[in-house]
Amino acid sequence: MFSTTRREVLRALGAGAGAVFAPSLARMQVRAQAPSAGIRLGAQTNAYPIDPKNFDTFLSAIGKLETIGYQGFETGYRNVMSQFASPDDARARIAATGLTFFGIHIFLQHAMYDTATLIAPASLYEQVAKGGKSLGALYLVCSGAAAGNLDQLNVKIAGLNTAAKFCQALGLGFAYHNEEPESGSKLNELDILYTRTDPQTVKFLLDVGHLYNLGGDVVAFIRKHHERIVGLHIRDYKDHQQVVLGTGTLPLLDIAHTLEQLHWRGWVECEEERLDGVKHGDEYLRPAFTALKEAFSK
């Protein structure tokens, strides 16, 4: 039920292969100036209007990220699901941008999560993991629903461990992404997930914005759990309203300094995702990249 309604007739192998050109020397130099020491700058593609039925709209979006100077990207699974059945051409066209495909992300409406594990049903995450791997993704990123009690949380932990082991068998990383309900959970769910899931297979994509907007001490959390974190979602707020990264009150410089002290290696990703659904694209992602590069180059 998760794939057949989205798959379209696939374009022939090689058709339009030249539509995405290799990154220019100038743009490669821009990315080369990004932070070293193992920190890489990326972005979620959800700032752009992408039609899951038209793969070229996805390629256009990541092409714009490459032009700005980002080193990699993460995207929702629906944006690339049409390519799972015959991935070779799509993988080549993605690779031609010069960007790293950091993660393929499963985010669902609450009612679509497995009622026991509170993450995507295994039938979906297994399909997306296989498809993402075939397209060159490094991680399967999963969001989920918040647990209502400790018993539910224990089942969720077991579900995350199982999903991560499945990905490990494919040679794919697995990272869990926190949404707002978990970030402000009275159960202290986020901290428990970080301390009780399998440290060898379950990694985390920490949504710093969600944690910060709900009053969490993001610097202290990063210090405590940095060894489990493979990436950060960075979004900025002012008076609990999301603003362009670098124009709000998120302690971006403190986060960058902390990661430097910890000798942390991973992905720092801008996530521009507005509740009104407006896709601001380059207008917001370009200044966001400037803010990230300045913060992580000091």
| pLDDT 10s digits, 55-83 | 999 999 999 999 999 999 999 999 999 99
- How would residue 276 be classed by pLDDT, with cut points 50, 70 and 90? confident
| Confidence category of residue 246, pLDDT binned at 50, 70, 90 | very high
Contacts for 33 with CB less than 8 Å, ≥ 6 apart: 293, 297
DSSP letter for 145, please: P
Closest CA to 74 of 141, 155, 7, 173: 141
pLDDT score of 10: 30
List, in sequence order, the alpha helices (H) in 135-199: 150-170, 180-183, 189-196
Residues pairing with 101 in the sheet: 73
Strands 241-243 and 236-238, by their bridges, are: antiparallel
Please give the C-alpha separations between residue 202 and each of 105, 140, 164, 165, 268, in angstroms, as whole numbers. Answer: 15, 11, 6, 8, 18
pLDDT-derived band at 202, boundaries 50, 70, 90: very high
Q: Is residue 23 very low, low, confident or very high in pLDDT (cuts 50, 70, 90)?
A: low
Query: What are the Cα distances from residue 263, in Å, to 31, 32, 76, 115, 257?
Result: 20, 19, 29, 39, 10
Name residues whose C-beta falls within 8 Å of residue 193's C-beta, 6 or more positions apart in sequence.
153, 156, 157, 160, 176, 178, 182, 204
Question: What is the pLDDT confidence band of residue 37, given thresholds at 50, 70 and 90?
Answer: low
Give the span between the Cα atoms of 130 and 145, in whole angstroms: 23
Q: Residues 92-113: what's their mean pLDDT? A: 97
pLDDT value at 168 more than 90:
yes
Weakest-pLDDT range from 8-17, 73-82, 89-98, 259-268: 8-17
The better pLDDT of the pair 19, 128 is held by: 128
Mean pLDDT throughout 211-233?
A: 96
Q: How far apart are CA 156 and CA 150, in angstroms?
A: 10
Residue 192's Cβ-side half-sphere holds a number of Cα atoms within 13 Å equal to 19
Domains and CATH numbers, the chain: 17-296 (3.20.20.150)
- Tell me the β-bridge partners of 44: 74
What pLDDT, on a 0 to 100 scale, did the predictor assign at position 16? 38
Percentage of the chain surpassing pLDDT 70?
87
Residue 101 has φ and ψ, to the nearest 5°, of: -85, 90
Arithmetic mean of pLDDT over the chain: 89
Q: What is the pLDDT of residue 250?
A: 96
The answer on pLDDT for 18 being more than 50 is no
Looking at the chain, the whole-number percentage of residues with pLDDT higher than 90 is 81
Average pLDDT of 26-45?
A: 66
Q: Which two tokens stand for residue 59?
A: 């390629």
What is this structure's pTM? 0.87
For the residues 281-287, what does the mean pLDDT come to?
A: 95
Report whether 157 contacts 193 (CB < 8 A): yes
* Whole-angstrom distance, CA of residue 119 vs CA of residue 142: 7
